[in-house]
Amino acid sequence: MPDPVTHLSVGFVVARHCCRENKAFFLCCSIIPDIDGLIGLLYMFFFLPSGMPSSEIKAVFESFHPSFSASFLFLPFFAGLILVISRRTVPGWMPPSMKKSYALILLAILVHLTLDMLMTGNRPFWPLPLEAGLSVIPYSNWGIFVPMVTGISLVVADLILFPDKSGKSDRKR
């Protein structure tokens, strides 16, 4: 599974071309499938004893991530949950149409899951114990570094090759 930098980089490029008005919303949705990892880290921080062997810590973390948020089976429900929570908390970030908001959430999560499947694989049918993916780059120190550099390079290339012609910049002034 790629790191957050890679997910955000690819999400930025997709958002820049698919949903210019809602880039921030798309970026948040493109990283949200890793929320189960954050839940696992919080659980380990508050409930696991210190001095635990790293192999046991890794096993506990892997019991949380990837799980429901990285599953194609739960994708429509997870996107609906994000839609409801977003409508109540940050309505200005979203398109006014519920259908367009739901479609953007689905697209962002699919971009995330596709990157996961390309890089190291995933459990796409969680809770079933099936693992799938291409494992193009193994999960190691280089396996984290290479996608990050590739993601950042993709953003730079996109900004150079497809400059904003509308007169608006990608950043607020």
Question: In the numeric block, which tokens belong to residue 70?
Answer: 């990285």
How sure is the predictor about 158, in pLDDT bands with cuts at 50, 70 and 90?
very high
Entry field: residues in the chain: 173
Residue pLDDT, tens place only, 106-147: 999 899 888 888 877 777 777 777 777 776 765 666 667 777
Residue pLDDT, tens place only, 92-115: 878 888 899 899 999 998 998 888
Which pTM does this prediction carry?
0.78
Helix (H, G, I), strand (E, B) or coil at 161: helix
Whether 14 shows a pLDDT value over 90: the answer reads: yes
Whether 168 shows a pLDDT value over 70: the answer reads: no
Residue pLDDT, tens place only, 18-49: 888 888 889 888 888 888 778 777 887 788 77
Whether 1 shows a pLDDT value over 70: the answer reads: no
Please say whether the beta carbons of 5 and 148 come within 8 A. Answer: yes
Q: 122 — phi, psi (to 5°)?
A: -165, 180
Identify the burial level of 42 via C-beta atoms within 10 angstroms of its C-beta, where 0-12 means exposed, 13-18 middle and 19 or more buried: exposed
Q: Tell me which amino acid residue 34 is.
A: D
